[in-house]
Structures are given as structure tokens and as C-alpha cells.
Amino acid sequence: MLFGADKGGTLPRRLNQDSTIKMTSVLMTAAAKGDLDLLERTLGGEYGEVTEEDIKESLLRSACHGNKECLSRLLAHGADPNCEDMDGDTPLMIASSNDHIEVVQLLIDSGCDVDLRSERNRTALHMAVWNQRARITKLLLRAGCDVDVRDRYGDTPLMLCARRGYTELLKLLMMCGCDVNKKSHENDTALHYAARHGHIDCLNLLLAQLPNIDLEATTIWGFTPLALAAMNGHSDAALTLIGSGANIMARDRSQKTILHYAVKKDLSSVCEWLLELGADVDATDSDGNSAIFEALNGPHLEMLKLLLRFGADIRIVGRATLNRQYCWCSPLEFAVHTGNLPAGKMLWAVGCNFAEFLKELDVVTIESVPVREWVESVISMTRSLKDLCRIAIRDSLGVHNKERVLRLPLPYCIRSYIACCDDSEFDA
């Protein structure tokens, strides 16, 4: 019920005489409730003088609540269809956000500017897309709105669709000829957003635009869509992009590769495919770390096994935090000082040794009791001839030795042993 009114909507005479009563509140309530009779009487001056501000606020309220008749009456009374609220939102933007299609049509017919921008630089199309209003989006597109308009972040409606995973709206915008390679202020494209958020259907729709879509576009941080898919843990999106021909050797500004991110997120199928396609297993980032350190940091033991089977350099050095100090270390050194016994055993099995530590090993300083006991048991151990042969063969074959080993003219059991195909081969 209207504040200060009886159930029939009639204002008490005493309130009509109260100079403190604002017509704005009366009009806004009438507009919100859709009380056309009260609106007519108020506009007619029955309850006092009506200002332009009163009419503006009432028009915005009518748009918000979808009261077409009230909005039509206000427009006929001279209300500006392009008026704005304190956030710069117009009646068209508000009605578009709230899916009031009849109000949107009425505002368009009244000649409102469909491309006006709010304080966030967003248009009615941005708001319709963000709120997944398909009918409103079609109406705005038919009215000729700018399909590639950018908001204050530089995002177009297409980018918002890719970000939110709105497949049908994305398809609709592409049918209207939007620019699929448009970039935001941070150089993100719609493809970046779809990859970052793992929206496979949107990703496939965008990739269907190949070769007219830029598969290798980079953000200001140097991230390609494939890098974003991997670093956010979206395995399906990453595999889709790889299958579409994305560059698996791409590096970002920190010099990290796709393999670094895939290992860090424990994406086994992505890592295996990358390595099978020739990704550099020993590529280092700006800190000097290869993917093997990402696996140790996890710790991701299956990733470590995969990298070792593909011939990762076990003597490479990288940087890690050991004993509260960020310093250079070897992979085995990292595993021992972080108490990662399974990783230590794997690295030892493929040829690492304690003499390669950058800082001389003091067994007493090893905090993990199981690791300390294991180190004590193997530190003076003489490796078997079989193990020494495996280590020598793997060292001589170098990277991707799994492929090379499996092509050697040797019995399968020997090839399997050398390539560490069986997990038991990693036991030390």
C-alpha cells in the first residue's frame, strides 16, 4: 500500500496540505505499483506541483518495475527517455537488465538512444547480455545498437558472453557480425575469456571462426588462450585449443610455458599430449625453474613420473624456498629438504645423487625422519650394474628418451625398465 494513502490509493487531505511531502515519493510509488490512476492525478497537480526531477525518478522506477502504462504516460507528459540515475543508468538499461521487453520496445519506439553509456561505460546491450536477456538482446540488435561497444574495462558484449558462458547469446552476437578479435584494455579477447573460464561450448563456437580468429593473441601479461586454460586448470579447454593448432611453445612475460602451467595444475592428459607433440621438457622460466620444479612444488608425483619418463633433465638447477630461504637447488635437493620421500626415491632411481647438491648435505639437518632414514640407507649404497646401465643409457638418449627407448632393438622387458614404464622402477 502507498505510504500515506488508504487502500483505494487516495491521499488524505491533510497530507495534500503538508508542504514537506515530496511529489517524488508519491510519483515513484505510483510508478512502482503501477497505479495509473494515482499517477494521473499526481501529474495533474492534484497533490501539488510536480518537478522534472519527480518525473525523472518516476520514469526510472517504472522502467525498473516494468510498468509500461505508467512509463507511457510519463513519456507523454514530457519525461526524457534518456534520463539517468545516479549511476548513469538510463530507463533502457534498467528495463534491459530486468527483462521488461515491452518497456524496452516502448523506449526504443520513443526514440531513446540505444548506445548511451553508464558511468561504467556500459550500454543497454552490455546489461542485457550480462543478465542473459536473450529477447532484449535481439530487440536491441534489431534497433541498431553498437555490437562492439566497450565498457570501462574494454569488454565488448561478446567478451561478456564468453566470460559468463552464454552460448546462445554469443552465437547471436557473432551472427550480427561482431569483431571476434576485439581486445579489452588488458588485451583480452573473447577467446581468452572462454579459455580462462573453461566454457567449452563458447570456445568451440569461437574456434569455428578459424582462421579469422586470433588463436595466439596475447594479453598484456603475455598469456595466450591456451596458457589461460592451462593455468586455470581447464583440461578440456586446453586440449581443445591444442587440437585446434594453438602454439604449445608459447611463453608469457615470466617465460613460463604451457607445460609449466599444465604441470602446476596437475593436468596429466594435457601434459602428456604436450610432451608427445614435442614441448620442451626442460624449458625454464625467468626464475630458472623447469616444469620438474612445478611438479615438486605441488607435489604432483604423477607429473614428476611423466616428466622423468620423457627425459627431463634431473641435474638442472632451479630456485625454491628451502629452510625459509629462496635459493638455487637441484631437484633431489629440493625433494629431500621438503620431506618429499616418494619424489626423492624417483629422482634417485633415475640417476640423481647427493653429490650434486649445491649446498653440501648434512643428514642431521633433514627435518623429515623418514627422508633422513632413507638418505642414510642409500647415501653409501653402491648402485647395481643394472641401475648404472639404465642411468647411462637414459643420459645418452637425452630428452624424449621414452620414445627413443621404446624404439631400441631390445626385449620389451629391458626397454620398459630403461624407460621406467612400470611405477616399480621408481622405487629406490
C-alpha cell, 292: 620438474
- On the question of pLDDT at 423 being above 80, the answer is no
Q: Would you state the pLDDT for residue 90?
A: 96
The mean pLDDT value for 329-339 works out to 93
Ranges for all domains in the chain classified under CATH 1.25.40.20: 151-241
pLDDT in tens, 354-381: 888 888 888 878 888 999 999 998 887 8
pLDDT in tens, 44-71: 777 677 788 888 988 999 999 999 999 9
- HSE-CB at 155 with a 13 A cutoff on CA atoms is 21
Between the CA of residue 422 and those of 214, 346, 414, 419, what are the distances in Å? 41, 12, 11, 8
CATH architecture entry for 151-241: Alpha Horseshoe (1.25)
- On the question of pLDDT at 19 being above 50, the answer is no
C-alpha cell, 212: 579469422
Q: Would you state the pLDDT for residue 272?
A: 94
The mean pLDDT value for 3-15 works out to 36
Q: Would you state the pLDDT for residue 95?
A: 97
What span, in angstroms and rounded, lies between the C-alpha atoms of 389 and 341?
24
Cell 609449466 belongs to 260
Other residues' Cβ atoms within 10 Å of the Cβ of residue 164:
18
Helix (H, G, I), strand (E, B) or coil at 110: coil
> How far, rounded to the nearest angstrom, does the alpha carbon of residue 372 sit from its chain's CA centroid?
42
pLDDT in tens, 105-121: 999 999 999 999 999 99
Q: Would you state the pLDDT for residue 219?
A: 98
Do residues 68 and 34 make contact, with C-beta atoms less than 8 angstroms apart? Answer: no
